[in-house]
Amino acid sequence: MAQGDKAKYTAKQKRKAEHIAESYEARGVPEPEAEARAWATVNKDDGGGKKPGGSGRGKATGHPAAHKGGATGGKASASRTPEQRSASAKKAAATRKANAAASA
C-alpha cells in the first residue's frame, strides 16, 4: 500500500476526515494543510485505518482529540470567589450590550 493511500480507512473515518477538513478550511486554513490536519486527527483518534491490514485494526478507540476540550473547562471559574464571578458576568453583559448597540 502506497504512502498516503486511504484504502484501509472505513467510510466513517473518511467522512470524519472530510468534515474536519471542511471545518479547518472555513477558518482559513489552506486546503492541503486542512486535509493533512484532518487525517492527523483521525489517526490520533483511531490509531489508523480500521479495515483488515490497517494499523488501527483491533485497537480500542479513546477519541482523545474529541474529548480534549472538556477536560480543561471550568478551572479558572472554580478558583474565583462568587463576588469575582458575579463582577465578571456583569462586565461581560455590559460588553455584549455595548457591542450590540454599536453594531445596530
Residue 89 lies in a domain: yes
Residue 5 lies in a domain: no
| Structural domain harbouring 96 | 11-57+80-103
Q: Note the pTM of the prediction, 2 decimals.
A: 0.59
Averaged pLDDT of the chain: 86
Residue 74 lies in a domain: no
Residue 21 lies in a domain: yes
39-49 residue pLDDT tens: 999 888 888 88
Choice among 15-19, 23-27, 30-34, 76-80 with the minimum mean pLDDT:
76-80
Q: What is the pLDDT of residue 4?
A: 82
Residue 99 lies in a domain: yes
Residue 62 lies in a domain: no
The tally of domains found in the chain comes to 1
Distance from C-alpha of 81 to C-alpha of 8, rounded to nearest angstrom: 52
Residue ranges in the chain assigned as alpha helix (H): 11-26, 31-46, 64-72, 75-78, 82-103
Q: What is the pLDDT of residue 18?
A: 96
